[in-house]
Amino acid sequence: MNRNYLSQHKHDIFIFILYSFYAIGIIGHVLDKTYPHMMTLTPFVLLIFGLAVLLLTTGPDYRLLLWCLVAYVFTFTTEALGVYSGMIFGQYYYGTTLGIKLLGVPLVIGFNWVIVVLGAIAIARRISSNKLHSALLAALFTVGLDIPLEIVAVNLDYWHWTQGFVPLQNYLAWFAVAFIVALSFSYLNLKVKGKIIIHYFVIQFIFFVLIDIIILIDLL
């Protein structure tokens, strides 16, 4: 395999690696011996693969990288206020699986918000070029990802709801936050490069759905 081939097909190769790694991750969550290691690796996987996806998606676009930084600060701050007050998403607190916390919020959370919304934006823009419509679609897709994520989150100690169930308020807040982030992206005329970010969004959705199914089967 020569360098030219690797250069020309690096995105396809990386996408294959993503699917393969997450497939292994699903198996790792099923097996008792590997399950604890999956929990330990979770924040590192999110960070390493997220950074790789982000760099391959943004390229040398410094405006987009700056937007990512601002979006991170915005979403992380929203999470911190949410945990502190319980007035944004509802009453909840984070477990230990997602790693190091600041103000009660794992540092990786804001970063994953950026990656998820970017993926939703990329999908939405393939459906509509209208700035408002694509932002609305991106927000809907983001909430769509959160639905299977919520079952996983509690069972894998990502976060927990004080009242024991996911409030409607959470989904409304997810929609609002994602819409604001996506709308700012649209009105700054930023562009997402390539298809990796779309595949990463799809991979995470499939991962959460399959883990949900495994959890439900285990409960039967």
Token pair for 186: 């649209």
The predicted pLDDT at position 210 comes to 93
Burial category of 100 from C-beta neighbours within 10 Å (exposed 0-12, middle 13-18, buried 19 and up): exposed
User: Do residues 126 and 141 make contact, with C-beta atoms less than 8 angstroms apart?
Assistant: no
Strand, helix or coil for residue 94:
strand
Helix H or strand E segment including 106: strand 105-106
The predicted pLDDT at position 123 comes to 95
What is the reported pTM? 0.90
The predicted pLDDT at position 4 comes to 63
Q: What is the rounded distance in angstroms from the CA atom of residue 171 to the CA atom of residue 144?
A: 9
- Helix ranges (H only) for 86-195 are 107-127, 131-155, 168-187
- pLDDT tens string, the chain, 220 residues long: the values are 556 655 566 778 889 999 999 999 999 988 888 989 888 999 999 999 989 888 888 777 788 889 999 999 999 999 999 999 999 999 999 999 999 999 999 999 999 999 999 999 999 999 998 999 999 999 999 999 999 999 889 989 999 999 889 999 999 999 999 999 999 999 998 888 878 999 999 999 999 999 999 888 877 7
